Every structure is written in structure tokens, then in C-alpha cells.
Amino acid sequence: MRLVVFTDLDGTLLDHASYSHAAAAPALAALARLGVPLVLASSKTAAEIAPLQAELNLRGTPVIAENGAARCPPGETGGSTATYGRLRAALAALPQPLRAPFTGFGDMSDREVAEATGLPPAGAALARQRQFTEPGLWGGTAAGEAAFVAALASQGIAARRGGRFLTLSFGGTKAGQMAGIARDLGAEVTLALGDAPNDREMIEAADHGVVIRNDHGTGLPPLPGEATGRIRRTTAPGPEGWNRAVLDILDELGFMTGAE
């Protein structure tokens, strides 16, 4: 049986506070031993995901970057920025009163992005290496924001609010990218893990979904799949919960027979 695993990073495979995946080591080792592809799916840029992908020896697997706006082929670093360029051009073409209150990552320095996100300066530089989406801060009125969003929508640009940032994109979700990758990798069974609303579609679209406990975020409301057992919740947060859930599901699917 060909299994493919899709996982969110922050608060899911990575600890909310320390960004460590150490507690998931046994399950990561089991996936590697079984040759089960592990696809990293994050709101981060490909440049931000690349060091983790290398550390986990996952360079042969595609990555879902920038919240599903894009799928990056295995091992790709420094891919095309043409889509991001189109977003920035659309912003520049807006009437100044509409455009002015929006401060995108492309309008900020590395230091300003570090301040806005809480990332260290080196991390902020990687977060600014955008290919597909533009997060930014809105400094105007609610009515102004509605007009700004409507003007962009007429050009096929979606604006999604998540926490502090208003993120602009030409669409695409983690679940949409998951479907394409699962097909290309010949998946017969999919498993998706996540902790936040932007993971919901992915968790619901997979054959097996896992909601990772996160006491620091918005969390996910009870999902219909939980009643049937197709979706489960972890009692432990982050990588500890991730580890338990992946090992349990591998066992239930019959992968662990004969494992020591």
C-alpha cells in the first residue's frame, strides 16, 4: 500500500515555542525506514522550508510552500519569482489612495519584517524571498480595506486574513496541492496533519486526518470526520502528538508488522 504523508510545520511537526522536531524522531525514522514520502506543507516560503527539508533528508520530495499557493519540485531552491512579480505589479497599478495603507513584505526591509513577524533577521530575509504570495499589514480603515480587496479581486487576486497579516495570492490551497502531489506520487492512502484553520481542508481531504493539539493558536472546531474516526485529535501538542499519531496510524495500517 502506497502511503504519502502531508504535514504542516509550525505547531505541528515543529514545537510551537522551540521549533524543534526532536520529539517526532521515532515516527520520522519509521517513515524513512518504510520509504513513505513526507511532504512538508507550510505558509513559509520555499527558501524558509529548504534548510528543514535538508535536515530531515526529504530533498527528493516536493514541498507545498506559501500556504498552498505553490508546489515546489524536489530539491528546488531559488525558483521563479514571476508570480510574485505579477502581484507586486498589480499593487503598483492601484490608485495611490487604495494602495497606500498596505505595507507588504516587499515594501519592508529585512529588519522591518523581523519586527512584524518576530523572526530573527536571518529568518526574515528568507521570509522575504517570496515567489507566490504577498503578506502585509493594513494600516487604513476597514472600508478602505474592503475597497482594496475588491479592486484586487477584479484582477483575480485573493486576499486572506490570517492573524496580523493580510495575504495576497492568485489562489491555491494546501489541499489543492496535496491532491496533485498525491496523484503524482501514486498515493493509495493519504495522511495529513495540522493544527490550524489553514490546515483544515488538507486534514478533511486526506484518508486519515490528524488535528495536532495547539493551546496557543485559534485551533480547529470539531470536524465531521472526527465522529467517524477518520480524523483524530492528539492529546499531546506539536511533535510529541505528531509522533504518537503517526506511529499509531502506521500500526493500524499494518506497516509496523515485524518492526522491532
The set of catalytic residues is 8
- Give just the sign of the alpha carbon dihedral 67, 69, 71, 75: negative
Q: Which is nearer to Mg ion, 176 or 219 (CB)?
A: 219
Binder among 6, 7, 11, 113 for Mg ion (CB under 5 A): 11
Q: Does 15 bind Mg ion (CB under 5 A)?
A: no
Give the torsion through C-alpha atoms of 79, 81, 83, 84, to 10 deg.
Answer: 130
| Contact in structure between 34 and 246 (CB atoms under 8 Å) | no
**Site string (39-78) toward Mg ion, x via CB under 5 A:** ----------------------------------------
Q: Which residues, 6 or more positions from 142, have their beta carbon under 8 angstroms from its beta carbon?
A: none
Question: Cell numbers of 119, please?
Answer: 523572526
Binder among 3, 4, 8, 66 for Mg ion (CB under 5 A): 8
Give the range of 101-109, 167-175, 179-187, 194-202 binding Mg ion by CB under 5 A.
Answer: 194-202
What letter does residue 9 receive in the DSSP assignment? T
**Site string (121-160) toward Mg ion, x via CB under 5 A:** ----------------------------------------
How far apart are the C-alpha atoms of 253 and 184, rounded to whole Å?
22
Q: Which is nearer to Mg ion, 111 or 164 (CB)?
A: 164
Give the range of 10-18, 20-28, 71-79, 159-167 binding Mg ion by CB under 5 A.
Answer: 10-18
| Contact in structure between 210 and 229 (CB atoms under 8 Å) | no
Q: Does 237 bind Mg ion (CB under 5 A)?
A: no
| Contact in structure between 232 and 210 (CB atoms under 8 Å) | yes
Q: Which residues, 6 or more positions from 56, have their beta carbon under 8 angstroms from its beta carbon?
A: 21, 28, 38, 40
As measured in angstroms, the least distance from the Cβ of 196 to Mg ion is 5
As measured in angstroms, the least distance from the Cβ of 42 to Mg ion is 8
Alpha-carbon distances of 25 from 15, 21, 112, rounded to whole Å: 13, 7, 35
Q: Does 10 bind Mg ion (CB under 5 A)?
A: yes
As measured in angstroms, the least distance from the Cβ of 203 to Mg ion is 11
Q: How many residues bind Mg ion (CB under 5 A)?
A: 5
Instruction: Tell me the residue number closest to Mg ion, measured at CB.
Output: 11
In the numeric block, the cell 483544515 is attached to 200
Give the range of 48-56, 159-167, 193-201, 241-249 binding Mg ion by CB under 5 A.
Answer: 193-201
Binder among 195, 211, 234, 250 for Mg ion (CB under 5 A): 195
Alpha-carbon distances of 189 from 63, 72, 91, 183, rounded to whole Å: 18, 22, 41, 10
Which stretches of the chain bind Mg ion, using CB under 5 A?
8, 10-11, 195-196
